[in-house]
Amino acid sequence: MKHPKSDSVNAAFIDFSAQLPKYVREMTYSASQIEEACSRIRAAIRTPPITENDDNVIRQGLMETILRRDMNLLLAGVVRVKRSLLESVRVLRDSSQKVLTAYDAHREGSTESSFAMERAEVEFAESYKMLIELDVRLSCD
Q: What is the pLDDT of residues 7-48, one digit of tens each?
A: 788 888 999 999 999 999 999 999 999 999 999 999 988 887
Higher per-residue pLDDT: 57 or 43: 43
User: How many angstroms separate the CA atoms of 65 and 67, rounded?
Assistant: 5
Q: Mean pLDDT check: name the lowest of 21-30, 50-59, 105-114.
A: 50-59
Mean pLDDT of the chain: 86
Residue with the bigger pLDDT between 86 and 51: it is: 86
Which alpha helices (DSSP H) does 1-141 contain, by range? Answer: 4-46, 57-108, 115-139
Cβ–Cβ under 8 Å, residues 34 and 81: yes
Q: Is the pLDDT of residue 1 over 50?
A: no
pTM score, whole prediction: 0.79
**How far apart are the C-alpha atoms of 59 and 55, rounded to whole Å?**
9
> Which has more pLDDT, 86 or 111?
86
Residues with Cβ within 8 Å of residue 119, at least 6 apart in sequence? 17
Task: Tell me the domains of the chain and their CATH numbers.
Answer: 4-139 (1.20.58)
Q: Is the pLDDT confidence value at 120 over 50?
A: yes
Give the C-alpha separation, 119 to 133, whole Å.
21
Q: How far does Cα 80 stand from its chain's mean position?
A: 13
87-108 tens-digit pLDDT:
999 999 999 999 988 888 877 6
7, burial (CB in 10 Å: exposed 0-12, middle 13-18, buried 19+) = exposed
Q: Is it the case that residue 119 has pLDDT exceeding 60?
A: yes
| 90 contacts: CB under 8 Å, gap ≥ 6 | 135
